[in-house]
């Protein structure tokens, strides 16, 4: 693939993004200072528990946050330009063209009253000015590309006539129609069966290699991240707590939350003795957000420092980032602390 | 789809039979002897008997019913007791007037209702939304005849305007009665259509709000589709599905509402015919008219169902 | 394996759901959701059912409890066939068999406090004398890790994991022998899921419970089960103790299923089997072996002959799979027929 000389290295750079929902009685800081970068042609996985702000981050990138939500701060640099400075008309030219998106629920993300072909064609009509016939031909090609059998027939069918896996393929076809530079996939396989998930991930990786786009893959499944991503950002309560390349993360996770998360997943490829280790308690609600480190109430290593002060995102020698006092000079707990040590295994 | 239409048509038959039995028996249960009424209060006994014999009123009810239906199927609904003319032509003259009134009102109601509903939904909780929904609430709670009378007062009889209002001094431009010209049509159509417009507006708003929150709307936005197209193509087509049903029901309701409206505006339609005939105990006409109205209602429902089916691709077209 | 007491024995269970159609609403066809399933659950063990969406896992669980009336088959509980029971007798045994669902919120009354929810369950079964019920409620709450101060709160005041604990407490309130857990931890975040799994295991130890654990998550299943059933399109394709299933799976579908699960272990490069196509409809399931439309090893025999569930050469006691060629595939004599 030939690419023009570019002045930017990272297809996407997010700096200190803040998105809040202004409800009647409080400001819910759904995304609270998120930063990460996606190098050109790489796959970044964003993981985190439900409500940690993954979807809101991705919707913020396309500026699709709806009332009462608002992006209140930060920068979103796409190909070097801040998307938050763009007008709505400029954004529309980017959406579905340079950045496109796939959503979690293939069942509800397609419009039930339009045919599959009409929905894919729309992108071609909007962004490439093709006429109806040309757009339909291109749609059929796309359907073929994503591995849908007899695409000439499928193109005129309605979403309800397709299985979940096929609908997700249609979503991918639609997203890739205009050859985007960045694909955002928000839990693209969560609603699918494992054998179908394997098909879809395979397809996405294959297309990524062929088309060379960057991918932001949101998921809560660490296995999916391990198998598909180059980099990983772990989110907790609206913040990125760890950002590294995937290999490092799975070999030696650093943040106590990441460590806890990995230990609490029962593996399917080997047995573990006794109980699973757990992270005690549950994710804090927006109304009771701890003022220091957000993980402090659940962290086995928390000290007063953690409970009172929010740690910064520290970048180490290898360029990996972590938000935890243990890795700072100010750390006042056990200097020899080992985050991988056996933690509690309670119910 | 074709099979579905045939099936729906077949399904209407029992409904029509039911309605005809109901109408027929109602007319025979109300007090008062039709033969006596026809002959006049002071007519001699033999003459009443004669009429009764001629009309077959002495036969058992099922026999009367069957012969009535047999005739009806051939287009013969009997003769009016008042005018002596046959009921079919008595209705025929007025049929189109009522249909016109209902159709115009429906069109106006759908047009206004949809626009108001969409505006409200896309500007949720804004000033426009609040005021439109307030107006809709008014429209809903206002009795039909009262609105009609008010409109006549203001725009047909006219009210004196203070001298500082420019250009118009008198508001009596519309006609208070009759049917045909634009000046005659406007007021009854508004009277009849207001309630439906209000219901359609509210229905459209809630349906639209529901649809706009759906994932596929987000998908459309993420594709870079213009907001106007998101609303009027992606959202509206889905939002219309429940609205179509409401419109159908409204049309039925409008046929009923036409009775009052026609009376208020002295429009010579089926509604007025029914009222006049009830007053005069002209049973054949009442029966015939109700039957025709019921038939109309069933046909409209059929059309609505088919449209619904067409819009809602998710229902399997077996 | 030592000789254990059979608690529940299911024989040739079938559950066909009628599909109505035509003008008169006649039954035009059937969804063969469960089609001839047989297995035994021993006292004190955890038997799991795994498989893809729609393969009939939940339907099997519901049919055992007669929440849906099974089409045919036998369900023996403690030696009695449940399908012969009257409604009243059935209600009595329900005390011994409880079910926990995926969505705890949907299955508990949102306007009742935890105390009311738990007391109500005891009332229905009349298992605990009235004056002791209150103490029992607090005891149960403690058992599942909730505090006594939470007894008078409403379900929405709890987090997902806590609500699932309420669901478990309710199931425990009548001292059941068998608990059917249908995707009981699937909706929970991993960190919470681990808490609930540990709880379920602890309760099993403490109260000698037997579990029928329905899930699509093979990691969870591996951790919690003694034996595992793999279902495909309404039929059992493989049943084995945990070790055999994970180390010596015989059925091509089981192999594909296991290889499809993404793993966090990036060190080992695994060979992945990516199946083509989707699961066919259970209305007109494929003839012969139901997996033949997606199986890389399928032959004409597979397309006509239904393979029976059998214990083949080199398989441990109690390990059974339904494939014509399982031994030949294992020793390499039978190679994939499609590439
Ligand atoms: N419309 C809204 N009003 C108020 N709060 C909201 C709204 N939408 C989202 N939030 C809050 O924003 C936070 C982040 O939500 P988000 O959808 O990004 O989570 P997520 O990480 O994608 O979780 P999941 O894995 O469940 O999809 C949540 O705590 C949620 O409560
Ligand atoms: N009441 C019912 N009427 C008709 N069909 C049904 C009914 N219940 C289930 N089915 C069908 O039976 C099949 C098996 O369903 P079941 O719910 O048992 O699947 P499952 O294995 O539990 O799947 P999941 O993992 O999605 O929960 C499906 O095809 C389903 O559509
Ligand atoms: S900052 Fe403190 S509380 Fe937060 S994760 Fe690190 S050690 Fe735990
Ligand atoms: S019987 Fe045939 S189709 Fe079925 S699993 Fe075995 S090889 Fe595959
Ligand atoms: Mg999300
Ligand atoms: Mg299920």
DSSP code string of C237-273: EEEEEHHHHHHS--SHHHHHHHHHS--S--SSPPP--
CB A76 within 8 A of CB A122: no
Q: Is B161 helix (H, G, I), strand (E, B) or coil?
A: coil
Mean pLDDT of B242-255: 82
**Which atom of ligand 1 lies nearest, measured to the CA of A238?**
14
To the nearest whole number, what is the mean pLDDT of chain B?
83
- CB of A191 within 8 Å of a chain C CB? The answer is no
pLDDT value of residue C2: 53
A302 alpha carbon to ligand 3 midpoint, in Å? 5
Distance CA A74, CA A18 (A): 6
* C222: nearest Cα among C251, C257, C172: C257
Model pLDDT, residue B66: 86
B97-311 domain in CATH 1.10.3720.10? yes
User: What local confidence, expressed as pLDDT, does residue B73 receive?
Assistant: 84
Q: What is the percentage of chain A residues whose pLDDT exceeds 90?
A: 59
Cβ pair B318:C21 closer than 8 A: yes
Check whether B317 has a pLDDT greater than 50: no
Q: Does C21 touch chain B (CB under 8 A)?
A: yes
pLDDT of A56 > 90? The answer is: yes
The per-residue pLDDT for range C20-39, each reduced to its tens digit, is 765 556 777 889 999 999 99
Average pLDDT over residues C90-118: 84
Query: Which of A194, A198, A262 lies nearest to residue C264, judging by beta carbons?
Result: A262
Percent of chain C with pLDDT strictly greater than 90: 51
Q: What is the pLDDT of residue C21?
A: 65
A28 Cβ below 6 A of ligand 1: yes
- Cα of C41 vs centre of ligand 2, distance in Å, is 22
The whole-number average pLDDT for the span B136-140 is 87
- pLDDT at residue C185, rounded to an integer: 86
Based on the number of CB atoms within 10 Å of its own CB, is C90 exposed (0-12), middle (13-18) or buried (19 or more)?
A: middle
Are the CB atoms for C215 and C185 separated by under 8 Å?
Answer: yes
Closest Cα in chain B to C22: B318
> Which helix H or strand E contains B67, and what residues bound it?
helix B61-73
User: Mean pLDDT over all residues of chain A?
Assistant: 89
Above 70 in pLDDT, residue B109? yes
Q: Is residue B29's pLDDT more than 80?
A: no
Percent of chain B whose pLDDT exceeds 90: 19
Q: Is the pLDDT of residue A255 over 90?
A: yes
**Helix, strand or coil, per DSSP, at residue A235:** strand
Name which residue sits closest to atom 7 of ligand 2, judged by CA.
Answer: C17
Token pair in block for residue C332:
């390499």
pLDDT given at position C23: 55
Ligand found nearest the CA of C34: 2
The whole-number average pLDDT for the span A116-139 is: 95
The domain limits of chain A are 1-98+181-276, 109-177
User: Strands C227-232, C80-81: parallel, antiparallel or unpaired by DSSP?
Assistant: unpaired
Q: Quote the pLDDT of residue B314.
A: 60
Residue scoring higher pLDDT (B36 or B215): B215
pLDDT digits (tens, 9 = 90+) for A165-182: 889 889 999 999 998 999
- State how far the Cα of A321 lies from the Cα of A60, in Å rounded to an integer: 22
Mean pLDDT of chain C: 89
Judge contact between A123 and B223, C-beta under 8 A: yes
Could you read off the pLDDT of C241-267 as tens digits, one per residue?
999 999 999 999 999 999 998 888 777
CA–CA separation, A76 and A31 (whole Å):
13
Q: pTM of this prediction?
A: 0.83
**Each residue of A181-216: pLDDT tens digit?**
999 999 888 878 888 888 889 888 988 998 889 999
A1 has a pLDDT exceeding 70: no
In the prediction, which pLDDT does B146 show?
Answer: 84
pLDDT at C127: 73
Alpha carbons A298 and A300: distance in angstroms, whole number:
7
Lowest mean pLDDT among A305-314, C221-230, C273-282: C273-282
* DSSP-based three-state secondary structure for B160: strand
**What's the gap in Å between the CA of C222 and the closest CA on chain A?**
6
Higher pLDDT, C179 or B281: C179
The DSSP line for C163-222 is HHHHHHHHHHTT--SEEEEESTTTTS-HHHHHHHHHHHHHHHHHHT-EEEEE-S-HHHHH
Position B182 confidence tier, pLDDT thresholds 50, 70, 90: confident
**Fold type of domain A1-98+181-276:** Rossmann fold (3.40.50)
The two beta strands, C227-232 and C235-241, are antiparallel
Rounded to the nearest 5°, which phi and psi values hold at B160? Answer: -75, 125
Does the Cβ of C71 fall within 6 Å of ligand 2? no
From B294, B305, B287, B307, select the one nearest B14 (Cα to Cα): B294
CA distance to partner chain B, nearest, from residue A227 (Å): 27
- State mean pLDDT over A269-274: 84
- Segment among A334-338, B37-41, B108-112, B275-279 with least mean pLDDT: B37-41
């Amino acid at each position: 693939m030939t690419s023009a000389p570019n002045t930017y290295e990272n297809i996407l750079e997010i700096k200190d993004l803040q998105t809040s929902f202004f409800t009647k009685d409080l400001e819910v800081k759904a995304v609270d200072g998120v930063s990460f970068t996606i190098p050109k042609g790489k796959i970044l996985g964003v993981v985190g528990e439900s409500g940690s702000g993954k979807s809101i981050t991705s919707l913020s990138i396309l500026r699709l946050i709806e009332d009462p939500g608002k992006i209140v701060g930060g920068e979103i640099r796409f190909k070097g330009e801040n998307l938050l400075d763009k007008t709505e008309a400029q954004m529309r030219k980017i959406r579905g063209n340079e950045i496109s998106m796939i959503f979690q629920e293939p069942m509800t993300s397609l419009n039930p009253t339009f045919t599959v072909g009409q929905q894919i064609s729309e992108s071609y009509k909007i962004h490439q000015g093709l006429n109806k016939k040309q757009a339909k031909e291109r749609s059929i090609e796309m359907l073929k590309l994503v591995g849908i059998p007899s695409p000439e027939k499928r193109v005129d069918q309605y979403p309800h006539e397709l299985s979940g896996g096929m609908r997700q393929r249609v979503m991918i076809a639609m997203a890739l129609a205009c050859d985007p530079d960045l694909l955002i996939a928000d839990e693209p396989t969560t609603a699918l069966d494992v054998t179908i998930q394997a098909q879809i991930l395979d397809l996405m990786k294959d297309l990524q290699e062929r088309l060379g786009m960057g991918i932001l893959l949101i998921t809560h499944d660490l296995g999916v991240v391990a198998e598909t991503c180059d980099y990983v950002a772990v989110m907790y309560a609206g913040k990125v707590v760890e950002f590294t390349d995937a290999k490092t993360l799975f070999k030696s996770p650093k943040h106590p939350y990441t460590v806890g998360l990995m230990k609490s997943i029962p593996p399917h490829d080997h047995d573990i003795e006794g109980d699973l280790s757990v992270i005690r308690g549950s994710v804090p609600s927006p109304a009771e957000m701890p003022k220091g480190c957000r993980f402090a109430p659940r962290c086995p290593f928390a000290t007063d420092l953690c409970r009172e002060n929010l740690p910064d995102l520290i970048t180490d020698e290898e360029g990996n980032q972590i938000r935890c006092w243990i890795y700072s000079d100010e750390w006042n707990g056990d200097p020899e602390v080992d985050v991988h040590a056996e933690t509690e295994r309670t119910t | 789809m074709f099979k579905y239409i045939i099936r729906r048509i077949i399904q209407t038959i029992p409904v029509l039979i039911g309605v005809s039995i109901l109408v027929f028996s109602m007319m025979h249960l109300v007090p008062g002897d039709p033969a006596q009424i026809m002959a006049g209060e002071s007519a001699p006994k033999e003459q009443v008997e004669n009429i009764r014999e001629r009309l077959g009123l002495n036969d058992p009810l099922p026999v009367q019913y069957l012969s009535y239906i047999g005739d009806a199927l051939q287009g013969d609904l009997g003769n009016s007791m008042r005018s002596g003319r046959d009921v079919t032509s008595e209705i025929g003259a007025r049929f189109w007037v009522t249909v016109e009134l209902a159709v115009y009102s429906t069109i106006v109601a759908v047009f206004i209702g949809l626009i108001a509903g969409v505006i409200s939904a896309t500007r949720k909780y804004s000033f426009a939304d609040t005021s439109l929904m307030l107006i809709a609430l008014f429209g809903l709670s206002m009795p039909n005849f009262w609105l009609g009378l008010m409109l006549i007062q203001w725009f047909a009889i006219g009210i004196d305007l203070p001298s500082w209002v420019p250009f118009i001094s008198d508001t009596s431009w519309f006609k208070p009665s009759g049917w045909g010209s634009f000046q005659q049509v406007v007021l009854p159509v508004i009277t009849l259509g207001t309630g439906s417009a209000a219901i359609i507006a509210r229905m459209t708003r809630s349906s639209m709000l529901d649809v706009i929150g759906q994932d596929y709307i987000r998908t459309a936005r993420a594709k870079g589709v213009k907001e106007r197209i998101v609303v009027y193509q992606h959202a509206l087509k889905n939002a219309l599905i429940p609205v179509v049903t409401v419109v159908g029901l409204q049309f039925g309701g409008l046929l009923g509402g036409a009775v009052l409206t026609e009376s208020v505006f002295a429009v010579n339609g089926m509604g007025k015919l029914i009222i006049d005939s009830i007053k005069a105990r002209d049973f054949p006409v009442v029966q015939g008219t109700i039957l025709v109205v019921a038939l109309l209602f069933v046909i409209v429902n059929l059309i609505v169902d088919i449209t619904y089916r067409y819009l809602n691709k998710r229902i399997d077209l077996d | 394996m030592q000789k254990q007491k059979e608690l529940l024995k299911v024989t040739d269970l079938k559950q066909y759901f009628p599909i109505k159609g035509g003008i008169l609403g006649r039954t035009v066809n059937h969804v063969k959701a469960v089609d001839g399933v047989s297995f035994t659950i021993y006292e004190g063990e955890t038997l799991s059912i795994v498989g893809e969406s729609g393969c009939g896992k939940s339907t099997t669980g519901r049919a055992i409890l007669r929440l849906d009336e099974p089409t045919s088959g036998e369900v023996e509980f403690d030696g009695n066939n449940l399908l012969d029971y009257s409604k009243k007798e059935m209600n009595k045994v329900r005390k011994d068999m409880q079910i926990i669902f995926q969505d705890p919120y949907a299955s508990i009354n949102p306007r009742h406090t935890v105390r009311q929810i738990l007391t109500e369950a005891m009332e229905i079964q009349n298992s605990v004398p009235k004056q002791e019920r209150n103490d029992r409620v607090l005891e149960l709450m403690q058992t599942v890790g909730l505090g006594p101060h939470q007894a008078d709160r409403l379900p929405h005041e709890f987090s997902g994991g806590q609500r699932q604990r309420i669901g478990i407490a309710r199931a425990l309130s009548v001292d059941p022998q068998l608990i059917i857990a249908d995707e009981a931890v699937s909706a929970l975040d991993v960190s919470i899921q681990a808490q609930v799994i540990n709880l379920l295991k602890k309760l099993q130890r403490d109260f000698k419970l037997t579990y029928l654990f329905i899930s699509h998550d093979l990691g969870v299943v591996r951790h919690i089960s003694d034996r595992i059933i793999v279902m495909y399109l309404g039929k059992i394709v493989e049943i084995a103790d945990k070790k055999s299933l994970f180390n010596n799976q015989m059925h091509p579908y089981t192999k594909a299923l296991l290889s499809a699960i993404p793993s966090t272990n990036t060190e080992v490069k695994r060979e992945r089997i990516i199946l083509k196509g989707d699961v066919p409809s259970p209305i007109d399931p494929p003839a012969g072996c139901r997996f033949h439309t997606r199986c890389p090893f399928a032959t004409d025999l597979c397309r006509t002959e239904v393979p029976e569930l059998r214990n083949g050469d080199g398989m441990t006691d109690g390990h059974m799979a339904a494939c014509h060629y399982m031994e030949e595939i294992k020793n390499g004599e039978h190679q994939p027929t499609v590439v």
